[in-house]
Amino acid sequence: MTEEPEVKPTAYFAHSMRDYGSKVEAEVRAELEKRFKVLCPHRDLAYGGNMTGYFRMIRWCDLTIVLEHKDHVGRGVFEEVRAAFESKKRVLVWRAGKLRPVVGVDVADRNDWKVKYGRLNTGPEPTAGRGQKDT
């Protein structure tokens, strides 16, 4: 008998263009690839001046995983998160080496489109000993 190959969920990796090609991007993507088939816009998509291709990939993927930049998201990642929610996709954020569910996103500074445009809202931290586990 042959063993069935493991089927990993496909995750869209939303992160700041300021992190493209960085050590942080590579390290986080490597960790994510242990559990997910990762679609990274920096590696796998060409930016054509608009977000249409990114939004199409978000709809195609099973979930979206966000890497914040300086504890915020820029306008592009903010819109990617909104697109994921509109497509009824699960959204997770990578924080301190763990994935946490994102329950919303708010505008923090409308004038800073590159870094501090938005803040992700996460659900409550899991309570130890209550049968909850990290994602």
**DSSP H helical segments within 1-135, as ranges?**
23-32, 41-44, 52-60, 75-86
Given a cut of 60, whether residue 121 has pLDDT beyond it is yes
Cβ within 8 Å of residue 49, ≥6 positions away: none
Q: What is the pLDDT of residues 14-56, one digit of tens each?
A: 998 888 889 999 999 999 999 999 999 888 887 666 788 899 9
Report whether pLDDT(128) > 70: no
pLDDT greater than 60 at residue 127: no
Structure token digits, residue 61: 């993927």
133, amino acid identity = K
**pLDDT at residue 113, rounded to an integer:** 73
> Distance between CA 120 and CA 107 in Å, rounded?
9
Strand, helix or coil for residue 63: strand
Q: Does residue 126 surpass a pLDDT of 60?
A: no
Q: What pLDDT, on a 0 to 100 scale, did the predictor assign at position 61?
A: 97
Predicted confidence at residue 12, as pLDDT, reads: 96
- Distance between CA atoms of residues 105 and 114, nearest Å: 16
Give pLDDT, residue 112: 66
Looking at residue 29, what is its pLDDT?
A: 96
Predicted confidence at residue 1, as pLDDT, reads 62
45 exposed, middle or buried (CB, 10 Å; 0-12, 13-18, 19+)? middle
- What's the chain's average pLDDT? 85
**DSSP-derived 3-state class of residue 101:** strand
What pLDDT is recorded for position 134? 44
Domain range 10-122, its CATH number among 3.30.60, 2.20.100, 3.40.50, 1.10.10: 3.40.50
Question: Which two tokens mark 58?
Answer: 């978000």
Q: Is the CB of residue 44 less than 8 Å from the CB of residue 12?
A: no
C-beta of residue 18 within 8 angstroms of C-beta of residue 115:
yes
Mean pLDDT of 116-123: 86
